[in-house]
Amino acid sequence: MANKAYQRIYTRLESITKATVSLKAKGVSNDELAVVGGKLAQVVKTRGDLVTLQVFSGTEGIPTNAEVTFLGEPPTLKVSEQLSGRFFNAYGDPIDGGPEVEGEVREIGGPSVNPYKRRQPSELIPTGIAGIDLNNTIVSGQKIPFFADPDQPYNQVMADVALRADVDKIILGGMGLSNDDYLFFRHAFESAGALDRIICFVNTTEDPPVERLLIPDMALTAAEYFAVDKNEKVLVLLTDMTLYADALSIVSNRMDQIPSKDSMPGSLYSDLAKIYEKAVQLPTDGSITIIAVTTLNDGDITHAIPDNTGYITEGQLFLRADSDSGKVIIDPFRSLSRLKQRVQNKKTREDHSQVMNAGVRLYADAQNAKTKLENGFDLSDYDHRCLYYAKEYATRLLSIDVNITITEMLDTAWELFGKYFSKAETGIKQSLIDKYWKGS
């Protein structure tokens, strides 16, 4: 980010907030980068001569006579095969001690794919976790977040999923990652011997929050390079998008914008959609799949961040600690994969969708029985059977530590149905019952 000799240097800031500075300048273009007192900044607003810049690393220590130079271009990333196996900060500078990456300079946050040029996602991404593969099957080109309270092991699950998935590249965009979690990911990737197909862009809690705003665009620009130019299957992991949204609200607040729900900017939906919609199945075999994390405040999905996310993404995976089985499970009620119909019964066995629905419906009956029990009512025979079923279903299928094939998951479900229920109680289509029923 060196200054060019002929550029005009401004030395008078009109106003400073914690995240932005304003100054009078001419010939400035929207979204262009600038250096303010040695810190990188981006133009977010112009009004007449007055230009407002968002300073990524915060404005601490910037004096009103700080030197400001404009770089004439929006943020960019150099893309090439050399990105593989490397760790970068939010600006795309290496943080692993390795050399600078050589390659083609690309603007980050570029245009979107023509919807008509997309192909319908139809390739299964198996993860071995039944809560995902059986109930919420993920498909390449999909975008899906984990909704989890901060105490859930979402980063571990995400690392498991990434390493089991059959993809060419895994790109991690870490936002507000604690240093421990950053090292966890690094270690997990290293010990799996997967380092050559990993690329990481990391902003840790030690870095200034506004820098996070660059992370998803950096990660996705790299992803587009591999998916579009190299026809590769790319999996992008974004954690934690709640911290990304928090950074958005900091900037909009400093710019005196009227906040909408939960003090988030009114453009939150568009801001998040711009990121998630980069998930794509291209007409060539290249694809970008996004698995993200949105941390919740005490399971509250009505908060603006998870709420807007839910409307954008193709489902969500809800992590919950289950008291019956003592395990962390993927909640079958609140979780959903919108693209599961693309592969269920087509790429998987014909009984998949009916087994999935019956399994969840019976689990719902168990929850009703549990409510009755808690309210001190007598339980019927059916209620008791439901409760036994629920415990085994949670342990053997919903728990995140499961790692089996989809056929094994289906067989396990039939085994549980046969053990606890009559054929009619499952409500499954007769032709499938005739073929797969286990037990009397």
103 counts as binding other proteins under rule CB under 8 A: no
**Which two three-digit tokens encode residue 125?**
């991404």
C-alpha to C-alpha distances, 39 to 2, 42, 254, nearest whole angstrom: 11, 10, 18
105 counts as binding other proteins under rule CB under 8 A: no
Range list of H helices, 211-267: 215-224, 241-254
Least separation in angstroms between residue 112's CB and other proteins is 4
Taking alpha carbons only, the member of 269, 215, 276, 273 closest to residue 243 is 215
Among 92, 121, 126, 176, binds other proteins (CB under 8 A): 121
- Residue 28 class from Cβ within 10 Å (0-12 exposed, 13-18 middle, 19+ buried)? middle
120 counts as binding other proteins under rule CB under 8 A: yes
375 counts as binding other proteins under rule CB under 8 A: yes
Name residues contacting other proteins, limited to 12-71 (CB under 8 A): 26-32, 44-49
Question: Which of 214-251 are b and which e, b meaning 16 or more Cβ less than 10 Å from the residue's Cβ?
Answer: bbbbbbbbbbbbbbbeeebbbbbbbbbbbbbbbbbbbb
Whether 42 contacts 13, CB under 8 Å: no
Among 111, 196, 298, 374, binds other proteins (CB under 8 A): 111
253 counts as binding other proteins under rule CB under 8 A: no
Among 76, 82, 205, 357, binds other proteins (CB under 8 A): 357
Among 179, 297, 302, 407, binds other proteins (CB under 8 A): 302
Binding mask 414-433 for other proteins (x = CB under 8 A): ----------xx-x-xx---
338 counts as binding other proteins under rule CB under 8 A: yes
315 counts as binding other proteins under rule CB under 8 A: yes
Least separation in angstroms between residue 95's CB and other proteins is 27
404 counts as binding other proteins under rule CB under 8 A: no
Among 18, 24, 187, 261, binds other proteins (CB under 8 A): 261
Least separation in angstroms between residue 398's CB and other proteins is 15
CA angle 183, 188, 191 (to 5 degrees): 115
**Which two three-digit tokens encode residue 329?**
């499970």
Q: How far does Cα 426 stand from its chain's mean position? A: 35
